[in-house]
Amino acid sequence: MSINMKCYDTTPCIRCFACMVGCSTENRLRLQRENHFGVEKSVQNKLEQHNHLKPMRKEFGIFPNSRQVTAFHHCNHCDNAPCLNICPVDAITRRVGSIVVINQDVCIGCSSCVDACPFDVPVVTNGKAFKCHGCYDRVENGLKPSCANICPTEAMFSGTSEDVLSEAYKRAKLYTEVTGKEHVVYGAEQVNEYVGKLHWITIIPKEDLEAYALDTNPTRGAIQVREAVKTGGAAAAVAIVIGSVGHLIYWLGKRKEKIKQKEQDHE
Amino acid sequence: MSKKITVYSNVERFFHNHLLHFIFFLTISGLPILSHTFDFIAYGVGIPVAVLTNNQEVLSAGMSFLRFIHYASAFILTLLSIPFTFLMLRKFTKLSMFPDKWGIKATIDGFKEMWKFYINQDHASFGKMNIGQKLFAQSVVICMLVITISGYVLIFRDSFSVELASYARGAHAISFIVLGLLLIIHIYLATHPVNKNAYKAMFKTGELDEEFIKDHHSIYYEKLKKEGKVK
């Protein structure tokens, strides 16, 4: 299976939120299908942890020159996923097609992924971490993810990375020509070393990156330092052990010499 | 027979020797969370736990059990540390972890004395602790403070922001790694033949011979003389 990718295009999006309804519905169906949840329980309960696509509405400017932006908060399925790297129990895995998935049966709820994710995505509820799983069950069976499947304007689309990237670049080029505003494909190129490329990309005017909360340098400094110190610490531990053994050998040899010297002095 | 001088009180020895057990449990239970290199500990613990709890995920079962051990050890150690901290604070200014003499020259001289003793095997002039032990003790206090505060931030993380919890996770691991490295040096020097008297004092009697102190800890001996504890 080739690498799977999802793209959100801000231009044709009509803010109908069908993608969110699709995501929520699909996850509730999964609960009924796999976790033996009753229909009532899975529909009536809030179960926020199963809503993997969340709107963040913001207003900019002062009327009449104001505008509203609805950014989407979701997992970006990073190429160098920090959540996957830090998980101590290997509950987070990369499926065939590069979708990053949390296995709740293995998760111990330590929140390491929450601390490592620079996009604040995973949520821990009842001792288990949750985030978008890219509808891997649908994708691996030849279907589209529910959000892309339900989108009426093709603002959310998915497919192999080649197809999605070529369509995304084509659209970004068109929008730039038509509107005169530079449009970029966020996440198609390496965002930074901490997350690498993203498997959920966004077509957006460059000037709106901040408004849509698309961080151009997403990091978690403390976690990066932690990883560096871990590597340095292992090397230092080896050096200290070798140094200690070396000192002991030197010290015993010197002691022998000193005792010999003392004996000669006595004679 | 040489007079015996009490160098470690019963409280100090009790705390030190039990701290050792707690650090062992905290290290064993914390290492698998820190790095996959130590997964074997979680697997070792996980096999019986998984069998007993009918959990099919061995690593997950082991890690959950180790987390419980980590929390329990940390909680008991915190309780144990509270009275000890107050006792130490009462004689804060007299603590031997502070330098006998302050200043850069005194610090360099302290290292020269250590070199004389540990490398050249010559007679050196030390206080109750040498400069290395003092720096070690100060670093341990700082690391323990950081570990404790960051650990409790992580336990009660819902009361703090995600950023702060992330910093706490970083600080917890970094201070543990620094502490771990210092402990390797500490264990090596504590079990070194040259320190066998101090080792015996810490783990058995709490006392050192007056003659030994006079020979090996001359600055400390002078201090004891001033206090009238030796003639």
Query: Can you give the residue ranges of every domain in chain A?
Result: 4-218, 220-267
| More confident call, B54 vs A188 | A188
Q: Which CATH architecture has domain A4-218?
A: 2-Layer Sandwich (3.30)
- Choose from A83, A87, A89 for mutation: most chain B CBs within 10 A: A89
* Pair type for strands B4-6 and B207-209: antiparallel
Stretch A226-249: mean pLDDT, rounded?
Answer: 96
Nearest alpha-carbon partner for A52 in A125, A130, A127 = A130
Tally of CA atoms within 13 A in the half-sphere of B9 that contains its CB: 8
Nearest alpha-carbon partner for A105 in B69, B61, B41 = B61
Residues in contact with B129: Cβ distance below 8 Å, sequence separation at least 6, in sequence order: B96, B97, B137
- Choose from A85, A110, A115, A124 for mutation: most chain B CBs within 10 A: A115
Q: What's the pLDDT at B1? A: 60
Q: Which residue in chain A has the smallest CA separation from B117?
A: A251
Dist CA B156 CA A9 (whole Å): 39
Spans of chain B, pLDDT less than 70: 1
Q: How far is A187 from chain B (nearest CA, A)?
A: 23
Q: What's the pLDDT at A56? A: 86
Q: Which residues in chain A are closer than 8 Å to B60, comparing Cβ atoms?
A: 89, 91, 105-108
Whether A42 shows a pLDDT value over 70: the answer reads yes
Nearest-by-Cβ selection for B174 from A88, A115, A226: A226
Nearest-by-Cβ selection for B170 from A105, A108, A222: A222
Task: Work out the percent of chain A whose per-residue pLDDT is above 90.
Answer: 73
Nearest-by-Cβ selection for A229 from B42, B59, B177: B177
Interchain proximity B33–A106, CB inside 8 Å = no
Mean pLDDT across chain A: 91
Interchain proximity B166–A233, CB inside 8 Å = no
* Pair type for strands A123-125 and A156-160: unpaired
Q: Which residue in chain B has the smallest CA separation from A220?
A: B166
Interchain proximity A225–B188, CB inside 8 Å = no
Dist CA A46 CA A121 (whole Å): 18
Q: What's the pLDDT at A4? A: 87
Whether A1 shows a pLDDT value over 70: the answer reads no
Q: Which two tokens stand for residue A102?
A: 């949390």
Q: Which amino acid is at A20?
A: M
Note the pTM of the prediction, 2 decimals. Answer: 0.89
- pLDDT tens digits, residue range A74-128? 999 999 999 999 999 999 999 988 899 999 999 999 999 999 999 999 999 989 9
Q: What is the 3-state secondary structure (H, E, C) of chain B?
A: CCCEEECCCHHHHHHHHHHHHHHHHHHHHHHHHHCHHHHHHHHHHHHHHHHHHCCCCHHHHHHHHHHHHHHHHHHHHHHHHHHHHHHHHHCHHHCCCCCCCCCHHHHHHHHHHHHHHHCCCCCCCCCCCCHHHHHHHHHHHHHHHHHHHHHHHHHCHHHCCHHHHHHHHHHHHHHHHHHHHHHHHHHHHHCCHHHHHHHHHHHHHCEEEHHHHHHHCHHHHHHHHHCCCCC
pLDDT band at A146 (very low <50, low <70, confident <90, very high): very high
ipTM of the complex, rounded to two decimals: 0.88
- Torsions phi, psi of B229, nearest 5? -80, -20
Dist CA A170 CA B177 (whole Å): 50
Gap between the terminal Cα atoms of chain A: 85
Cα-Cα-Cα-Cα torsion A217, A218, A221, A227, nearest 10 degrees, comes to: -110
Nearest-by-Cβ selection for A236 from B63, B154, B181: B181
Dist CA A205 CA A210 (whole Å): 10
Q: How far is B192 from chain A (nearest CA, A)?
A: 8
